[in-house]
Amino acid sequence: MIITLQHYLVLSVILFAIGAIGVISRRNIFIILMSIELMLASAALAVLSFSRWNLLPDGKALVFFVMAVIAVEAAIGLAIIIVVHRRKKSVLTDDLGLLRG
């Protein structure tokens, strides 16, 4: 089988969907953060595969911006989770019921 652009894009969209479902359905903040990271990484995969198959060399530079953004998001996310855990002694969204709707 010859792997084409379409295969990579389908993979990227599937990963994105898995991440989105994870964000919506999971109750553990860590898992939600991981799901968001998965969504961001799937976007990076899409950029790279477009850059490879449509001969767009800029994409390889663009993907570094995306990776930097992913790293920064992870850093601030973990910091916020530490603050939440210190305050509430829990990382489950069910235990954080002060704000609803």
Partner 1 sequence: MFEILKDFDWMLFLQYLSPMLVLLVAAAVLMVKSILSSDEDELGFEVPFAITIAGLIASFFAAWYFWPKVPNAMIATLYFDRAVFIGWMIVVMATLSVVLISIDTIRESKVTYDGYFTLVLMSAFGMGIIIAAANLITLLIGLEIMSISLYALVVSVRRSDISVEAGLKYFLMGGFALAFFLMGLAFIFGSIGTCDLSLIAQRAPEISDVGARAFYMFGIAMLLIGFGFKIAIVPFHAWAPDTYDGSSTPVTTLLITAAKVAVMIAFMRFALAAAGTFDINWYYVMWGLSAITMLYASLAAIRQYNLKRMLAYSSIVHTGFMLLLFPSAALDHAGVVKAMLFYLISYVVMNIGAFAVISTLVADSSGEVEINRLAGLAKRRPLLAAALSLFLLSLAGFPPTIGFFAKYYLFLTAIKNGDVALVVVAIVASAISIYYYLKPVVVMYFRDETEVGGKAPFANSAVLHPAVVAVLVLSAMAVVFFGVFPNNLIELIRASI
Does 18 help bind partner 1 (rule: CB under 8 A)?
no
Is position 26 an interface residue for partner 1 (rule: CB under 8 A)? no
C-alpha torsion sign, points 16, 17, 18, 24: positive
Report the candidate in 38, 37, 19, 43 with the shortest Cα–Cα distance to residue 78: 37
Task: Pick out residues in 32-71 that bind partner 1 (CB under 8 A).
Answer: 32-33, 36, 39-40, 42-44, 46-47, 49-50, 54, 56, 58-59, 61-62, 65-66, 69
Decide: is 22 part of the binding site for partner 1 (CB under 8 A): no
Please spell the DSSP secondary structure of 16-72, one letter per residue.
Answer: HHHHHHHHHH--BHHHHHHHHHHHHHHHHHHHHHHHHHTT-THHHHHHHHHHHHHHH
What does the binding site for partner 1 look like in residue numbers (CB under 8 A)?
12, 16, 19-20, 23, 29, 32-33, 36, 39-40, 42-44, 46-47, 49-50, 54, 56, 58-59, 61-62, 65-66, 69, 72-73, 76-77, 79-81, 83-84, 87-88, 96, 98-101
